[in-house]
């Protein structure tokens, strides 16, 4: 499959060439939106990776995306940026972008975004929407967790989590999901602390912690907060795939 990469950074070209070729795609590279429009047709590609900012022009990428939208171009477009500006992401989503990749771009995030973009719409799994306030209530009161709502959160966040992690989280029992939400927010939570919150014996809390580690991985305490952050990203943007970190510290678009 042919992928067009439109970005003014040669380093992005080099890194994406390696990633895309490893994924068995055939990339073509353009340094500017006018270069792309002057030499190619969007319909000649299976997907387009489009940067947001070119030089000091923060609207150049979105202007091309709007051009595609206005001319009803069916080729899926994935936007890329070094920033996490919500207004830019929502504008991109409104103009039909299928996903938003955060730079530096990770191979797993790229693969997920491309898979979503290249899956025919009629075959895409429709993820249920989850009210962010409902998810906030889960975090504030994990001991009162509604298990069906928890499963809906995981369904909604599946593309952000990746298939492997999504399967692991869905395998958690109701009690283990409560423990996960507590420990993900307080990495220092002990079995005694959990027993007090959940109203169970300390031994039972220890068992839940051990089972949680077996299901998610040996570095559970280190990674659970990062997993929770992925869930938060997914629930804040339920209709639009966002792949990357949320610190907004990167300076390159």
- Region 206-223 average pLDDT: 80
Q: In the structure, what pLDDT confidence band is assigned to residue 129 with cuts at 50, 70 and 90? A: low
Determine the pLDDT at residue 234: 72
Q: Is the pLDDT of residue 125 over 60?
A: no
Q: In the structure, what pLDDT confidence band is assigned to residue 217 with cuts at 50, 70 and 90? A: confident
User: Is the Cβ–Cβ distance between 169 and 216 less than 8 Å?
Assistant: yes
Determine the pLDDT at residue 236: 63
Question: Average per-residue pLDDT in the chain?
Answer: 83
Tokens of 96: 């039909």
Q: In the structure, what pLDDT confidence band is assigned to residue 69 with cuts at 50, 70 and 90? A: very high
Q: What are the CB-based long-range contacts (under 8 Å, 24+) for 82-85?
A: 82/250, 82/251, 82/252, 82/253, 83/52, 83/248, 83/250, 83/253, 84/244, 84/245, 84/246, 84/247, 84/248, 85/248
Read off the pTM: 0.54
Q: What is the DSSP string of 191-225?
A: HHHHHHHHT--HHHHHHHHHHHHHHH-TTHHHHHH
Q: Using one digit for the tens of pLDDT, what is the confidence trace for 229-250?
A: 888 777 764 344 444 543 433 3
Q: Using one digit for the tens of pLDDT, what is the confidence trace for 176-210?
A: 999 999 988 887 888 999 999 999 999 999 999 88
Determine the pLDDT at residue 242: 46
What the chain holds in terms of domains, given with CATH numbers, is 2-124 (3.40.50.2300), 132-236 (no CATH)
């Amino acid at each position: 499959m042919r992928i067009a990469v439109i970005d003014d950074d040669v380093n992005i070209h080099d890194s994406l060439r390696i990633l895309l070729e490893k994924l068995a795609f055939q990339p073509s590279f353009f340094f500017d939106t006018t270069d792309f429009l002057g030499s190619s047709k969007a319909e000649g590609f299976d997907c387009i990776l489009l940067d947001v900012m070119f030089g000091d022009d923060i609207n150049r990428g979105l202007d091309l995306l709007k051009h595609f939208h206005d001319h009803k171009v069916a080729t899926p477009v994935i936007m890329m940026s070094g920033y996490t500006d919500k207004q830019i992401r929502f504008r991109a989503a409104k103009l039909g972008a299928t996903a938003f990749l955060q730079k530096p771009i990770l191979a797993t995030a790229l693969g997920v975004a491309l898979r979503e973009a290249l899956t025919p719409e009629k075959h895409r799994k429709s993820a249920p929407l989850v009210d962010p306030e409902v998810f906030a209530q889960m975090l504030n009161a994990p001991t009162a967790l509604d298990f069906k709502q928890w499963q809906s959160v995981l369904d909604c966040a599946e593309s952000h989590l990746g298939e492997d992690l999504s399967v692991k989280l869905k395998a958690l029992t109701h009690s283990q999901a409560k423990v996960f939400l507590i420990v993900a927010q307080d990495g220092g939570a002990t079995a005694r602390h959990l027993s007090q919150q959940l109203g169970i014996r300390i031994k039972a809390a220890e068992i839940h912690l051990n089972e949680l580690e077996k299901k998610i991985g040996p570095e559970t305490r280190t990674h659970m907060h990062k997993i929770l952050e992925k869930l938060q990203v997914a629930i804040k943007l339920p209709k639009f795939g966002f792949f990357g970190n949320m610190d907004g510290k990167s300076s390159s678009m």
